[in-house]
Amino acid sequence: MALNKEVYKEFEDVVGEENICNDPAIMPAYFSTEFAAVILPGNTAEVQAIVKLCNKHKMQFRPICTGWTGMFPPGIILLDLRRMNRIIEINEKNMYAVVEPYVISSQLQAELMKRGLNFCIKGAGTNCTAMLRGHGHMDQTTSGDDRNHLAIEWITPEGDIVRSGSLGSSDEWFCGDGPGPSLRSILTSAVPPGVTPGVFTKAAVKLYHWSGPSAYPVEGISPHYSLSEIPPNMMARYFSFPSVEKMWQAELKIGESEICFELMGFNISMVAANITTSNEEEEETFNRLNKEVQGPGFFVIVVGDTPADFEYKQRVLEKIVSENDGKSLKAVEDPRIEGILMCQCTRISASIRETFRNGGAFNSIPIMGQRDLTIKWAIGAGKAKEPLIEKGYIVDDGGAFFGWGVEQGHLGKTEIFCKFDPGNPEAKAAVEGWQKEQNRRAFTERYFASTMGPQDEIGPALLNYHLWWQKITEALDPNGVSPSGGSLV
Amino acid sequence: MALEDYRGDMEMCCRCSTCKFIPMQKVKGAQYVNVCPSIAKYNFHAYSAGGRLNIAAAMLKDGFKYTDKLLDIVYNCQLCGACGVSCNYAMDMEVLQPISEFRLRCVEDGKTNPALDKVIAGLQKQGTMVPGAKGKRGDWATGLKLKDATKEKVDVLYHVGCLTSYDKNMQKLAKATVKILQKAGVNFGIAGNAETCCGGRAYQMGYKEDFLNQAKKNMDMIKKAGIKTLVTGCADGYQAFKVLYDKYNLKGDLEVLHISEYIDKLIKDGKLKLNKKVNLNVTYHDPCRLGRLGEPWIHWEGKKVPGDRFVFDPPKEYRRGTKGVYEPPRDVLKSIPGVKLTEMTRIKEYAWCCGAGGGVNESNPGFARWTARERIEEAGSTGAEAIVTACPWCEKNFSETIKENGSNLKVYDIVELVEKAI
């Protein structure tokens, strides 16, 4: 739906002519969608004014941060939040940071590391927003997803400003649940089947203790960065195990003993992707390392608070690995590889190598839950990848899955994906079929209910939550201006 | 290769936004994280490399639909190549080449920028990228009794470049270079009035034919004079002779060196001594076309291997901006007694552009100055008294921006400091 001149002018009056555009030339840059206009609000007041105008004119809108992914109906207003890029506060005492949507994780993390702090960064990478809803490499220590949400400033679909948690009763951001409105069940930013309607304009995220360096001593020239030295009291290793069961037992013990800052269950294909600088090198490295590992495995980063603490953690790790017949991958013991993996897996700067470099696209099934259960499902999902590999539709990663501990193994994430060339329609269709089938299998075989699975089947089994969510969104958005879909990545 | 040849690369763009920022490992805080001036200034995703690739891919698919906004996007880009460096940390795909090809296509289709048309008209008429240039190209050398490399046998041709030759404020660079080469006892010459524009900036602006005309003129003269080694004081000239001429198979076996490389060699060979103390705290600005875009051209032809991976037969080696000229200018600065070098946050392959390239200096001077302001601020944050560069276009843009906005920062070309030290 094209904007008429009068309506366009109303939006333009809010943000200024340089921050609104409806020229068709810019649209292919944004998700191949014909938006009515793209608008760049600069602050909360502008977002609120735009949302109110959308209600006035019954126009749908969606916000994006850095906007890696998303699905967007044509004809809507796109709010590109790029100008809202301020770190509002880093509160060291109460261990939270308040950010606007376009602060990227790398910026916030670099500031935090100087202060001996860190935070949960999405596996998508530090090139993505620091705000809300992330799970990834450091979850073992920093937890993930909405468990890191504190107070949030939210523009509702009707254009009201809601300040959740402690912000609802004071100017403090320290708590997401009060004193003040909690709204935690609504403000998760990724409630299935869509995301929270409206726009988050500021959010406080939880911070965690970091005993690593204030900055990594990176040297060399891209793409061959390395560390000039391994920072004191730090170590990175990859261990493979003779069986999934042994790996899982080791993972559990490591979580219980709280000795690893990071436990990332990379498969060997992902290790190869991370440590290489081209597709050709990656393929050769995968084939070589695949012969060296004895089975599934994981990557760990140990960070000691003191030399004594580091020594203790190393000894416990050695014992756990030994008891479960684990074997250290020699390649990662090389300080050049160890160093850059350590850096990349805390600064989350190589996820793109793991996902997009091979073919340009990947489809994934990520699951939060009990690792032992989700691993069992993932083994089957991996087997189901084999025919696609044989047909050359997807990259050969040995049919592997991956996963990682969350909150020292209290929870866990399991994920499996297929990398493919999106220009090959047969490959794309095969991957989508695999994804659908494995989501369905997860539900019918009672492993878990995927948010990406068939909602009309899953919903009734889970107290019809999808219908309740629909009712909530209808109440919040009576004019239907905030459609589901989209992403805060 | 034409724009169509980069279709696969453009379709590889996953819209991850890394092209907007310096490589993540190098981010040191909330400040100085941007790497692309265009998206940093204009904010719409269309102004980023990812946006440009997605637009170009869509136009290849659906046809070219030119609008004023599209041309605004196309020409408000310095083509500095920083986007590609950040992207290529992780991805195997061409980034700058399709963006550059898209601009060439615009010019081919007659969708030019009027300000750039004027510059090119000047090039066609006078053989220089300095519009309204007065006098003759070799006037700056009057009285210096330099060898005419087109007539006399020399070991090195010093290609002075348009701005240094014609701009009265920049001629000091040519004179400093002459003094340095003479002090080192180099048998060098200039082409004087026979010198002509390298064509590099015309290429950046999208005027491929004018670039090729200039390249052919230069190489004819060089071959006729029997020149084996060319030294240029300008980063644009360096990239043109070394990379672009090679890309179009015009370079032959000509050795191309930037003056900073050559001075570095003279110092290391013991032919040039820097004895005088120059007490100055400096920071060094890597010119885009000496650094990441100065990386040698890699000739490659191949086909995508059918299947799941974006790989080619024969394998494609990507130019990732890693093999530009980074250490020689730094080594020269470190050789000057009294000079203390402090690095900025964004350096070497991911240096922030000065703003003057890609025709932006001519088509949108406000954007060029905006870009320079950001660099000047970053330089100031190091505590340096001066920003040192190795390109007259950078020096001019920095100096004019400082004059407009006020700053105590001094601006030098590297040859000016070397001249002080000999």
Asked whether residue A191 carries a pLDDT value surpassing 60, the answer given is no
- Closest alpha carbon to A266 in A413, A437, A118: A413
| pLDDT band of B43, cuts 50, 70, 90 | very high
Domain presence at residue B164: yes
Q: Is the pLDDT of residue A421 over 80?
A: yes
Residue of B nearest to A84 (CA): B43
Q: At what angle do helices A307-323 and A244-257 cross, to 10 degrees?
A: 150
Residue type, position B42, single letter: Y
User: Above 80 in pLDDT, residue A414?
Assistant: yes
Instruction: State mean pLDDT over A110-135.
Output: 91
pLDDT bin (cut points 50, 70, 90) of residue A196 is confident
The pLDDT, as a whole number, for residue A189 is 56
Q: Which of A144, A119, A117 is nearest to A133 (CA)?
A: A144
| CA separation, residue B95 to residues A26, B3, B12, B340 (Å) | 18, 11, 10, 36
d(CA B294, CA A179): 59
One-letter amino acid at B122 equals G
Residue A25 binned pLDDT confidence (cut-offs 50, 70, 90): very high
B205 is a domain residue: yes
The DSSP result for A303-321, as a single string, is: E-SSHHHHHHHHHHHHHHH
Residue numbers in B near A396 (CB within 8 A):
308
Q: Which residues of B touch A67 (CB under 8 A)?
A: 15, 17, 45
pLDDT at A361 over 50: yes
Confidence of residue A422 (pLDDT cuts 50, 70, 90): confident
Predicted confidence band of residue A449 (pLDDT cuts 50, 70, 90)? confident
Position B132 pLDDT exceeds 60: yes
State residue A405's pLDDT score.
87
Which is nearest to A109 in space by CA: A135, A90, A83, A123?
A: A90
Q: Which residue in A443, A405, A400, A442 sits closest to A419, CA to CA?
A: A400
For residues B298-327, average pLDDT: 93
Residue A376: both structure tokens together = 């069992």
How close A112 gets to chain B, by Cα (Å)?
A: 9
DSSP summary character for residue B25: G
Angle at CA of residue B323, ends B180 and A351, nearest 5°? 145
Supply A95's token pair: 């261990």
Q: CB–CB of B24 and A127 under 8 A?
A: yes
Q: Is A108 on the interface with B (CB under 8 A)?
A: yes
CA B18 to chain A, closest CA, distance in angstroms equals 6
pLDDT digits (tens, 9 = 90+) for B220-268: 999 999 999 999 999 999 999 999 999 999 999 999 999 999 999 999 9
Count other Cβ atoms within 10 Å, centred on residue A305. Answer: 11
Q: Is residue B161 part of a domain?
A: yes
Integer-rounded Cα radius of gyration of chain B: 21
Domain count, chain B: 1
Residue B254: predicted pLDDT: 98
First to last CA, chain B: 46
- Which residue from B minimizes the CA distance to A358? B309
Range of lowest pLDDT (A366-370, B165-169, B214-218, B362-366): A366-370
What is the pLDDT confidence band of residue A66, given thresholds at 50, 70 and 90?
A: confident
Report yes or no for ipTM above 0.90: yes
Q: pLDDT tens for residues B69-88?
A: 999 999 999 999 999 999 99
Alpha carbons A367 and A351: distance in angstroms, whole number: 18
pLDDT of residue A369: 83
pLDDT of B316 above 90: yes
pLDDT score of A451 more than 80: no
Domain containing B227: what range?
125-268
CA–CA distance, A24 with A6 (Å, rounded to integer): 19
Alpha helix segments (H runs only) across B226-295 = 235-239, 245-247, 259-268
- Phi, psi dihedral angles at A408 (to 5 degrees): 55, 40
- Whether the predicted pLDDT of A463 surpasses 50: yes
pTM: 0.95
**Within the 192-251 window of chain A, which residues sit less than 8 Å (CB to CB) from chain B?**
215-216, 218, 221-225
pLDDT of residue A206: 96
Query: Would residue B184 count as lying in a domain?
Result: yes
Q: What integer pLDDT is reported at residue A487 of this predicted model?
A: 52
Name the band, by pLDDT with cuts 50, 70 and 90, for residue A371.
confident
Mean pLDDT of B135-144: 96
pLDDT at A485: 61
Of A218, A359, A394, the CB nearest to B26: A218
The answer to whether A29 contacts B59, with C-beta atoms less than 8 Å apart, is no
Nearest CB neighbour to A352, from listed B21, B91, B309: B91
CA distance A181 to chain B (A): 31
Average pLDDT, chain A: 91
pLDDT at A172 over 60: yes
> What value does the mean pLDDT take over residues A151-173?
94
Tell me the nearest-neighbour CA distance from B413 into chain A, angstroms: 24
Please indicate if any CB of chain B lies within 8 Å of the CB of A479.
no
| Mean local confidence (pLDDT), A313-341 | 97
For chain B, percent of residues with pLDDT exceeding 90 = 97
B355-388: pLDDT as tens digits: 999 999 999 999 999 999 999 999 999 999 999 9
- From residue A202, alpha-carbon distances to A69, A87, A154, B48 in Å are 20, 9, 7, 25
Query: Percent of chain A scored above 90 by pLDDT?
Result: 69
Both tokens of B386, joined, read 């001066």
> What integer best gives the mean pLDDT of chain B?
97
What pLDDT does residue A31 have?
83
A157: β partners: none
In terms of Cα–Cα distance, which of B109, B112, B297 is closest to B205?
A: B112
**B317-339 pLDDT per residue, tens:** 999 999 999 999 999 999 999 99
Q: Residue A384, Cβ neighbours under 10 Å: how many?
A: 17
Task: Say yes or no for a CB contact (<8 Å) between A110 and B12.
Answer: no
Q: Can you give the pLDDT at residue A461?
A: 87
B186 domain-assigned: yes
On the CB side of A243, CA atoms within 13 Å amount to: 6
Q: Which helix (H) or strand (E) holds A98?
A: strand A96-99
Q: How confident is residue A193, by pLDDT bands cut at 50, 70 and 90?
A: very low
Q: Which of B87, B89, B308 to mutate to test the interface with A (most CBs of A within 10 A)?
A: B308
Does a structural domain hold residue B198? yes
Residue A22 has pLDDT above 60, yes or no: yes
Check residue B385 and report its DSSP letter. S
For chain A positions 6-45, those within 8 Å of chain B (CB to CB) are: 19, 21, 23-26, 28-32, 38, 40
Beta-carbon contacts of A360 under 8 Å, excluding residues fewer than 6 positions away, are A421, A422, A423, B11, B12, B13, B14, B310
Do the domain assignments include residue B88? Answer: no
A411-420 and A361-369 strand pairing: antiparallel
- Cβ distance A205 to A187 under 8 Å? no
**What digits encode the pLDDT tens for the residues A222-281?**
888 999 999 999 999 999 999 999 999 999 999 999 999 999 998 999 999 999 999 999
Return all residues near B390 (Cβ < 8 A) that are at least 6 apart.
B235, B258, B259, B260, B287, B290, B329, B413, B414
Q: Is the predicted pLDDT of residue B42 greater than 70, yes or no?
A: yes
Which tokens go with B45?
Answer: 């995703």
Sheet with B255-258: list strands edge to edge: B147-148, B188-190, B156-159, B229-232, B255-258
CATH number at residue B223: 3.40.50.1860
In chain A, what residues touch B59 (CB-CB under 8 Å)? 28
A104 forms beta bridges with A129
**What percent of chain B clears pLDDT 70, i.e. is strictly above it?**
100
- Asked if residue B2 belongs to a domain, the reply is no
Residue B205 contacts residue B121 (beta carbons within 8 Å): no
Q: In chain A, which residue's Cα lies nearest the Cα of B65? A: A25
- Cis amide leading into B314 (omega within 30): yes
Site from A15, A106, A286 to mutate, B interface, most B CB atoms within 10 angstroms: A106
What is the DSSP track for B165-231? HH-TTTHHHHHHHHHHHHHTT--EEE-GGG----SHHHHHHT-HHHHHHHHHHHHHHHHHHT--EEE
At residue A192 the predicted structure's pLDDT band, cuts being 50, 70 and 90, is very low
Spatial CB neighbours of A447, under 8 Å, sequence gap ≥ 6 = A373, A374, A376, A377, A441
Q: What is the dihedral of CA A35, A38, A43, A44, to 10 degrees?
A: -10
- What amino acid occupies position B331? D
Give the closest-approach CA distance of B217 to chain A in angstroms. Answer: 36
